[in-house]
Amino acid sequence: MHELGITQNIIAIVSEHAQGKKVQRVLLEIGKLSAIMPDAVRFCFDICAKGTIVEGAILEIWEIPGMARCRQCGATIPLEKPFGICECGSVQLDLITGEELKIKEIEVEELCV
């Protein structure tokens, strides 16, 4: 399960960017063609966050659908797999979306002084 290593890296990056502040929420974008299973990331998140400033944070995941542009006719088509065929018959497709893995937002606790 490579999602464990990916989630450990996400926690490390979020912790670094939070600059010592308690993390309340993390928003990830995961493309449907990325070979990363959002449910596995959700499962690993609390385990990997334990004992860090990310512990207890809410994890939100936006799944980004796969889309490609046909090199032959220029059409934009949805993809369920990292390959496909356009209505024009061409298999020469350029992926537009679906391979993302991004930490889109983190929300940290504001400290009152």
Q: Is 17 annotated as a binding residue?
A: no
Return the H-helix or E-strand segment holding 82: none
Report d(CA 4, CA 16) in Å as an integer. 18
Report d(CA 21, CA 97) in Å as an integer. 32
The tokens describing 10, both together, are 């996400």
Q: Is 86 annotated as a binding residue?
A: yes
Q: Is 70 annotated as a binding residue?
A: yes
Q: Indicate the annotated binding residues.
A: 2, 70, 73, 86, 88
Q: Indicate the annotated binding residues for Zn(2+).
A: 70, 73, 86, 88
Q: Indicate the annotated binding residues for Ni(2+).
A: 2
